[in-house]
Amino acid sequence: MANTSKISSLDRTFSTAGLERLRLRLVKNQADLKRKLSACPSENEIELGELCLRELSETVSMEHLRKDWLDIEKQSNTILPHAYKTKIKKSNRRINRLGKKLWKYSKILRDLEEKAGLAPRLGPDAHRAYVPILLKLYKDPSSFYTRSMNLQINMKEKAIKKYASHVGAPKGQLWCPILGDYYPSKAFKAVHIVPHALGPELVDYVFGPGAGSRLDSADNCLLMHRDAQLHFDSGSIVLVPAVPSETPIKTWKIRITNWAPAAGGDKAGLKSLGDLENTIVNFRHTDERPAVRFLYFRFALTLLRNKRDRTPGWEHYFRELSIGRPFAAMGPYIRKSMMVTLARAAGHFYGVYEANVLGTEGKELFAERRVLGDREEEEVARRILRVKDEDDED
């Protein structure tokens, strides 16, 4: 125990020194940018726009740094748990507001560059790869897609058929593979694994061409009781391969990634959250399974979002992950540059490290030639991390 405490103390000291150096560098960068902004002629709109974007990016980095300082205060017991949680939540909101502002200015700058002939005009007939995602990012005023009631009903019907949830069920009931029992059909939800709100354009970019066409198919859906859905959507549970060497993957198990009680977990006689840990997902009457790439994405996204929000237990699961590697060499499934950008957006300055951990040293990631720039991928990452948040302001 004494040795562990010594290591933790050294880690904190190193982290504190490293964060202070980073803070000083960010303060210097911000001061330099303010001087450049004040000296830039107002008629030079493009240069002013670039400087404004750089200043906003530095401000976002400073906000992430504040969260890291809060972590150190928590480790040293110099901040109360409630105050820590409140400040982390406020910081996340500020980061999102800054991200929205940064993208608003990016769109304005893009328009100026197009008018000046410094950037190709975007349109449906533009000759560039991934034109749909560029049009979605720059020209569509809405960030997310909405889901109609008809779409939800169709998804549920597709999922019932694909996973044979009605087979052997008592009248008016369906089988829940997460809870492992039959329940009234009205209590079931067709749950998107990759959120529908992202839209096919973003999904094509993250997973590769053609993936967007599967967004609203049963490949991207799990049928489960609404109480299980609460655990799944809140980031309390993920599905991982029970036998990583199995090809194709048919056997999945549940891992708990948030040990804080989830709403509704014990009502109506359903299993508690703790009862689900390491249980096998029982599809019962079928060999059909969701797409592995989508389940891997949900797994990685849940861990990154839990880290961003400092959800109870996130540190433990990251430590375990680097040893256990629940997804082992089954890819590649996700664009590597996007995983790195997502890791950074979740609050880590060393996104490559976390992307490699989540991707089993890159084996679930593909390194296709980049089409989007850094700011464009950062906006995609912001939308991915925000799409399911209760406090979403988009």
Q: Do the Cβ atoms of 188 and 174 come closer than 8 Å?
A: yes
Mean pLDDT of 285-308: 90
Share of the chain above pLDDT 90, in %: 49
Residues 41 and 349: their CA atoms lie apart, in Å, by: 33
Query: Rg for the chain (alpha carbons), in Å?
Result: 23
Res 126: pLDDT: 67
Angle between helices 45-75 and 2-39 (to 10 degrees): 160
**Is 70 exceeded by the pLDDT of residue 390?**
no
Q: What pLDDT band is residue 268 in, cutting at 50, 70 and 90?
A: very low
Alpha-helical runs (H) found in the chain: 2-39, 45-75, 81-115, 131-139, 149-162, 199-207, 226-233, 292-309, 314-324, 336-345, 351-358, 374-386
Mean pLDDT of 124-130: 69
Mean pLDDT of 105-111: 95
* Closest-CA residue to 336 (of 347, 328, 326, 344): 344
Q: Do the Cβ atoms of 240 and 299 come closer than 8 Å?
A: yes
Beta bridge partners of 239: 254
For 284: left if phi > 0, alpha if psi spans -120 to 50, otherwise beta; the answer is left
Reported as a single tens digit per residue, the pLDDT across 48-69 is: 999 999 999 999 999 999 998 9
For tokens 């964060």, the residue is 19
Reported as a single tens digit per residue, the pLDDT across 23-43 is: 999 999 999 999 999 999 999
**Is 90 exceeded by the pLDDT of residue 351?**
no
**Is 50 exceeded by the pLDDT of residue 11?**
no
DSSP string, 22-49: HHHHHHHHHHHHHHHHHHS-TT-HHHHH
User: ∠ at Cα 244 (241, 246), nearest 5°?
Assistant: 100
Higher pLDDT, 94 or 354: 94
Q: Do the Cβ atoms of 366 and 334 come closer than 8 Å?
A: yes
Q: Do the Cβ atoms of 253 and 280 come closer than 8 Å?
A: yes
pTM of the model: 0.85
